[in-house]
Structure formats: C-alpha cells, structure tokens
Amino acid sequence: MLKAVFFDLDGTLLDTVPDIMACVNVSLKKFGYPEISYAQTCSYVGDGAKLLIERALPAACPDVDAVYEDFRTRFATDDAAHTRLFPDEEPVLAALKEQGIKLAVITNKPQDAAQHVLARFFPEGLFDFIGGDTGMFPCKPDPSLARYAALKLRVSPAECAFVGDGEPDARVARNAGMKGISALWGYRSRAQLEGAGATCFAADFRDLQKILEKLF
C-alpha cells in the first residue's frame, strides 16, 4: 500500500534549467571560462552541483572548488525568475496530500538552494520532508538519504514511490527498495531512463496520478 511519494526536484517538480544555466554562466564568466548552453546544462544536471560545475569546466581545471563555491553561494538565493511548474502539477500534489499521502523531496541540489526554491513555488507544509545535499549523505543514486526520509516519515521503503526524471532517480528507487516511476516531462529521454533500469513511466502529472492511485 502506498503511503508516501518521494520526488526529485530539478526536472521533476520544477523546470529549473534556465536559472541553473544563468547562475553557472555568471560564475564561469567571472573566472574567465566559456559559458554553457541550455542543452549542455540539461545534460550536466542531476548528479549534484559539484559535478555540474566540473562538467561545465575544462578537464583538470584547477578552479573547480572556487567556481563551485561562487555558484553555490549565488544559487542559494537566486530569484528563480525563469523557473516554472509543470502542467497539472499543483492539483495533483494537492490531491495526493488530501488523500493522506506523505510527500517528500529528495534532491542532489544543495539543501539551502532546494529549500529556497521550494518555498517560492509551493505552499508551506506541502512537503513532509525536504532532503538536499548537505554533505551528510552521499548523493543519489546512493539510497541513504531516501531511506533516512522513509524512517523519519515512519513508512517502509516498500510503501514509497520515487518519482524522478533522471538516471540517478531510477537507480535510487531500485537501491532503496521503492517503486520507481520515471518522469518523461524532464531532462532525459525514455531511452536514457531505460538504460538506467527504469520500467515504469509517466508522461505527465495526470498520468502520474493514475499510476499512483493504482498503488493506494
């Protein structure tokens, strides 16, 4: 029986790439490196902010730590002017909440940036747990943070669904013993997700709602 739904953030709950790209490019320009494109940003996100910066910089770049810290500090308070919700997302999340399903966010995004952007786009109390990268747990696809969230919410992993648009999300669902649902509205293709072992797919939030309701 489904008792909780865990969501990835970037590309799953919010379309954040335009603002991520803008913040990365400010830092790259500040340190004298070439800017990255929208397509590059889409391909670089998903594995944490540090890896995002490493991918955006030339190989063996000596300035990774400095550029990362500059980006992380700026991104934590970014106004998210170009970030947006996905179609039908708000009513679906509200319906899940009304049905007593616990909602959580498990993201490789830095914790302060995750809390900041979620507070702007979602009502207080919608999510019962928000877990980002604090350095306490390894990033996805390691299952430690997802399992910790289940423990805090007093549910078993088998009673949780994990929804995400990236390869780490498909893998963390399997690693944590949760029902994995891959979101096709994000930054990865179905073929890429299948390559990561995904077997269940949602085309949009209404489709996701139908899949989840079968697990109640």
47 is catalytic: no
Q: How far apart are CA 214 and CA 39, in angstroms?
A: 35
Q: What are phi and psi of 34, to 5 degrees?
A: -65, 145
Contact assessment for residue 109 and residue 10, using Cβ atoms and an 8 Å cutoff: yes
Q: What are phi and psi of 75, to 5 degrees?
A: -65, -30
**Catalytic site residue from 8, 10, 19, 165:** 8
Contact assessment for residue 190 and residue 184, using Cβ atoms and an 8 Å cutoff: yes
Give every strand in the sheet of 179-183, ordered side by side.
Answer: 129-133, 102-110, 4-7, 160-164, 179-183, 201-202
Q: How far apart are CA 62 and CA 159, in angstroms?
A: 45
Active-site residue numbers? 8
